[in-house]
Amino acid sequence: MAPLSHSPLSSLAGKRLLLGVSAGIAAYKSALIVRQLKQAGCEVRVVMTEGAQAFITPLTLQALSGEPVRTSLLDPEAEAGMGHIELARWADAIVIAPATADLIARLVHGMADDLLTTLCLASEAPRLIAPAMNQAMWRHPATQRNVKQLATDGWQLIGPAAGDQACGDVGPGRMSEPDEILEAVSRHFAPPITPSASAPHVVITAGPTREALDPVRYLSNHSSGKMGYALAAEAAAQGARVTLISGPVNLPTPQGVERLNVETAVQMHTAALELAPQAALFIGCAAVADYRAANAAEHKLKKTDDQDTLTLTLVKNPDIIADVAALPDGQRPFVVGFAAETQDIERYAQDKLARKGLDMIVANDVSQQGLGFGSDDNAALLLWRTSDGSDRLVAPPQPKTQLAALIVRHALTHLSLTSSGA
């Protein structure tokens, strides 16, 4: 079985795209974005901020787009017929790449102090944005608040990526590459994928579990479910038939994904063992509670004045990922597990890979600030078994959506190799 592909770029043919370019060294990549959009059959019009013109000339983007480049809100000729309103109505989508921290902040606050921000306020078209900035600026709490608000307001974030930066720093904040931006835009317009009868069935667990202590209290953890949901969305976008076994989270079900809600580890275990034999790939991403109360109280536990301590008796929960990996041949899927660690990441992950009989494991350092539980970003170490031992891949800090794409691609590739006997 070969890995499935993303939606074809044919979904872009005939689309009218407004490309916004703001200041930053990544502005030079906007020329390639315009070229690729044109090659995909789009009509492209470019709007540049004043600062963007210090990095790339309007003439360059005009030559590539075949259309005049707009740079000013107060252009007498263009505004004779309320040109900015017509341009806002013209666009099927607005794509901003690169988007600086300053532009993001102005968009969040609804400012309309230049042509690009005015167009964004005046347009009802879908909006996609590719941030680009220094890693410290990206990590700053103000920027993180702003990008969360953009997402709430309906913007689709593309990236940013992590790596070497023009200033010499290393970290998250690099603008996504033009081909990744093109793929994100094409996915936006692509019709939902209906899995074929031969599409692999992927089962994914996500989120925390809750183990009741009494009718109002429970044991749980800080898992937001974002990583598991990103994996489910990516697998569905790849054309797989996806079932998501979800603990209690406040997240919408990804498009094309069947969702099964559970509360406790025992419920998740039952659902996993029921679905896993039907699956080609099982990804255990849930943060399952290791223990539960031996006997949950029937009524609320009361605090008394003479009681300074409370003793709870806990019993071990079933090991979901190990039990799935132990299924007999013919029922056992390709099994990917997760390891959330705070120290000796690779050693503990290698041990879990071997001890639980997994095919692949994704190890996260949850002690890193801004990564893992509750965050939109994550980093990981991927380990997988080979005929002569194991192999590894280091994934630097990046949005969970991008990390999910990497994990799903690797899992499907190794599933394909395993199925073919390679």
DSSP 3-state of 273: helix
The pLDDT of residue 4 is 43
Say whether pLDDT at 7 is over 60. Answer: no
Residue 320 counted as an annotated binding residue: yes
* Token couple for 335: 């099994």
For 389-398, what is the mean pLDDT? Answer: 78
pLDDT band at 12 (very low <50, low <70, confident <90, very high): confident
Say what percent of the chain tops pLDDT 70: 89
Residues 214 and 133 in one domain: no
The pLDDT of residue 80 is 44
Residue 300 counted as an annotated binding residue: yes
Tell me the C-alpha distance between 67 and 45, whole Å. 6
Say whether pLDDT at 34 is over 50. Answer: yes
For 279-290, what is the mean pLDDT? Answer: 94
The pLDDT of residue 325 is 96
Catalytic annotation present for 120: no
Bridge partner residues of 393 (DSSP): 382
Residues 120 and 250 in one domain: no
In a domain, 414, yes or no: yes
Say what percent of the chain tops pLDDT 90: 47
Q: Give the CA distances from residue 263 to residues 39, 220, 283, in Å, rounded to whole numbers and listed in that order.
A: 49, 10, 18
- The dihedral over CA atoms of 83, 88, 93, 94, expressed in degrees to the nearest 10, equals 80
Asked which of 134, 167, 189 is the last residue of a domain, the reply is: 189
For 206-211, what is the mean pLDDT? Answer: 94
pLDDT band at 306 (very low <50, low <70, confident <90, very high): confident
* Token couple for 123: 């347009």
The torsion angles phi and psi of 406, rounded to 5 degrees, stand at -65, -45
pLDDT averaged over the chain? 86
Ranking 129-143, 316-330, 358-372 by mean pLDDT, the lowest is: 358-372
**Cβ atoms 384, 360 nearer than 8 A:** yes
* Token couple for 339: 């390891």
Asked which of 157, 189, 221 is the last residue of a domain, the reply is: 189
Residues 174 and 124 in one domain: yes
The pLDDT of residue 49 is 94
Amino acid in the structure at residue 150: L
β-strands 281-284, 170-174: how paired? unpaired
State which H helix or E strand residue 82 sits in. none
β-strands 377-386, 360-365: how paired? antiparallel
Residue 286 counted as an annotated binding residue: yes
Q: Give the CA distances from residue 304 to residues 122, 275, 308, in Å, rounded to whole numbers and listed in that order.
A: 60, 45, 8
Residues 252 and 131 in one domain: no
Residues 183 and 296 in one domain: no
The pLDDT of residue 418 is 61
Say whether pLDDT at 191 is over 80. Answer: no
The active-site residue, picked from 121, 167, 326, 417, is: 167
Residue 168 burial class via C-beta count within 10 angstroms: exposed 0-12, middle 13-18, buried 19 and up? exposed
In a domain, 214, yes or no: yes
DSSP string covering 314-377 = EEEPP-HHHHHHTSPTTT--EEEEEEEESS-HHHHHHHHHHHTT-SEEEEEETTSTTSSTT-SE
Residue 321 counted as an annotated binding residue: yes
Residue 284 counted as an annotated binding residue: yes
Ranking 15-24, 142-151, 358-367, 369-378 by mean pLDDT, the lowest is: 369-378
The pLDDT of residue 389 is 61
Residue 374 burial class via C-beta count within 10 angstroms: exposed 0-12, middle 13-18, buried 19 and up? exposed
- CATH number for the domain including 127? 3.40.50.1950
- CATH number for the domain including 240? 3.40.50.10300
Say whether pLDDT at 369 is over 80. Answer: no
Residues 108 and 168 in one domain: yes
Say whether pLDDT at 297 is over 60. Answer: yes
Q: Which of 37, 62, 42 is nearest to 182 (CA)?
A: 37
**Non-local CB neighbours of 86 within 8 Å, separated by 6+ positions:** none
Domain that residue 351 falls in: 201-420
In a domain, 121, yes or no: yes
Ranking 103-117, 190-204, 356-370 by mean pLDDT, the lowest is: 190-204
Residues 219 and 150 in one domain: no
Residues 153 and 206 in one domain: no
In a domain, 296, yes or no: yes
**What is the number of domains present in the chain?**
2
The pLDDT of residue 85 is 78
The pLDDT of residue 327 is 96
Tell me the C-alpha distance between 379 and 198, whole Å. 32
Q: 68-73 contacts: CB < 8 A, separation 24 or more?
A: 69/45, 70/45, 70/46, 70/115, 71/47, 71/115, 72/115, 73/114, 73/115, 73/118
The pLDDT of residue 355 is 93
Name the DSSP class of 76.
T
Residue 120 counted as an annotated binding residue: no
Tell me how far the alpha carbon of residue 296 is from its chain's centroid.
Answer: 36
Q: What pLDDT digit, counting tens, does each position of 41-68 carry?
A: 899 999 999 999 999 999 999 999 999 9
Q: Which residue has the higher pLDDT, 69 or 310?
A: 69
Residue 189 counted as an annotated binding residue: no
Residues 226 and 248 in one domain: yes
pTM of the model: 0.62
Tell me the C-alpha distance between 62 and 44, whole Å. 10
pLDDT band at 6 (very low <50, low <70, confident <90, very high): very low
Residue 356 counted as an annotated binding residue: yes
Tell me the C-alpha distance between 362 and 139, whole Å. 24
The pLDDT of residue 293 is 92
- Side-chain half-sphere of 255: how many Cα atoms within 13 Å? 10
Q: How far apart are the first and last CA of the chain?
A: 11
In a domain, 63, yes or no: yes
Residues 381 and 284 in one domain: yes
The pLDDT of residue 195 is 63
In a domain, 1, yes or no: no
Residues 175 and 300 in one domain: no
Q: Which residue has the higher pLDDT, 270 or 124?
A: 270
Asked which of 164, 189, 214 is the last residue of a domain, the reply is: 189
* Token couple for 199: 């599409």
In a domain, 195, yes or no: no
Q: Which residue has the higher pLDDT, 62 or 308?
A: 62
Tell me the C-alpha distance between 400 and 374, whole Å. 11
In a domain, 4, yes or no: no
DSSP string covering 274-294 = HHGGG-SEEEE--B--SEEES
Residues 148 and 205 in one domain: no
- The dihedral over CA atoms of 231, 234, 236, 240, expressed in degrees to the nearest 10, equals -80
The pLDDT of residue 1 is 41
**Cβ atoms 84, 119 nearer than 8 A:** yes
